[in-house]
Structure 1
């Protein structure tokens, strides 16, 4: 048992509780939306809804039995064209993606079914251009090194800020042993590193795909525990030590 002096969640003033609650609710909703986005992108890499090891392998290592174009047409883009049009595009890619067939057969399909998004949204590849489409028709080797570098640094900087503030709020929780609280606060950061590192390792060896799922599940679970505990203690747990914002308590 140790004595510690620090703000505790039950005794915070109403404005501070409102501030923390707003942040936790928005951050929690953001994590849910991130999970939904993963389901709708990576989760469709194998053509089936729901995240699986195959989805992770196809996303980072690639499906080296086919092209990126084929993977998309069998996955998240499957319903954007008719089955016959999808078959025509896949056959064209498998036969070497000739420019002549592109002009006569493939480009009209792309302009009719794909251009609405791919020619107008800057974040999407403009596959109405033959050079861009030809790259998508090559054997799928998964995420490129440049895209992994870009997404990795965005996730490491952005998500670590989310975990920092969730952990800071949770550090004011009561009723936890110090080592348990410290472990919970550190856990999301550790699993985030595992998650990002596994992207790169899966790019080299598909067997590391399991660690991507473990990393994502680990930091999501730890964050959920801290968010729910913080909300419970701010609004349900009785105030300790009066209404002062700074109290001394025995941290069990």
Structure 2
């Protein structure tokens, strides 16, 4: 059975091209923002900018030589407190997070530097309360299973919708045989499953951290290929085809 020869990206009508292009631009911007968010959160888990295997291990397996509080103070939260304040809180956590020092030494720092976010944003721990900060000051075992479950189902549902529409647009591309096109469309879904599964595996064994990076890189690369190919075939290829007698792009309403 042959594919529809008229239903292809170069010959789409101008309104449909505008619709697809707007979606591609917004999705592309969203992917860049997601990358920036990863760099500013997971990418700072080891206290250094840039995503590394250590960042992945600290985020999911944890830094079991220290606390999550220490990891944050040396990582993504480093700029929100002075070196002296960070050292005071880290020493307090290492010494067992005693409640006797909480009211006089730790709470003033937390109220001044942390409360503006942690006391008002419901999705992050309210460390202005001793019971909550005590949990964060305990040995860092990485992401807990409740948060992994929540984030996993959000990513699986949300990102799969993005890949579905990106793949649907790319399915109208020309110049690819069916098998190649099908593989390119399927790759992001496969790497998304690998990425999410690797979170859980890394939680149990830090050696799986490499697969998190491979999964994220794989679906990002495949998505980029589909997005740029779709834009090229909608807007540049028809202009080149106008000067060729072999390729005549006829717009369909």
TM range (shorter): over 0.9
The correspondence for 1:245, drawn from 230, 233, 252, is: 252
Kindly provide the CA deviation profile for residues 132-160 of structure 1, in whole angstroms up to 9, marking residues without a partner as x: 00000100000000000000000000000
Q: 1:3 maps to which residue?
A: 2
Q: Residues of 2 paired with 1:173 and 1:242: CA distance?
A: 13
Contact 1:8 1:173 in 2 (8 A): yes
Contact 2:10 2:249 in 1 (8 A): no
Q: 2:187 maps to which residue?
A: 187
Aligned positions of 1:1-252 closer than 5 A: 3-5=2-4, 7-238=7-238, 240-245=247-252
Unpaired segments ≥5 residues, structure 1: 247-252
What is the number of residues matched between the two proteins? 245
When normalised by structure 2's length, the TM-score is 0.94
Kindly provide the CA deviation profile for residues 166-189 of structure 1, in whole angstroms up to 9, marking residues without a partner as x: 000000000001111000000000
> How far did 1:242 drift?
4.2
When normalised by structure 1's length, the TM-score is 0.95
Kindly provide the CA deviation profile for residues 102-127 of structure 1, in whole angstroms up to 9, marking residues without a partner as x: 11110011001111111112222110
Q: Residues of 2 paired with 1:222 and 1:177: CA distance?
A: 17
- Aligned residue for 1:236, secondary structure, equals helix
> How far did 1:241 drift?
4.7
- Aligned residue for 2:3, secondary structure, equals strand
Kindly provide the CA deviation profile for residues 182-236 of structure 1, in whole angstroms up to 9, marking residues without a partner as x: 0000000000000000000000000000000000000000000000000000001
Root mean square deviation of aligned Cα: 1.2
Q: Residues of 1 paired with 2:15 and 2:163: CA distance?
A: 22
Q: Residues of 2 paired with 1:3 and 1:168: CA distance?
A: 18
> How far did 1:3 drift?
3.4
Unpaired segments ≥5 residues, structure 2: 242-246
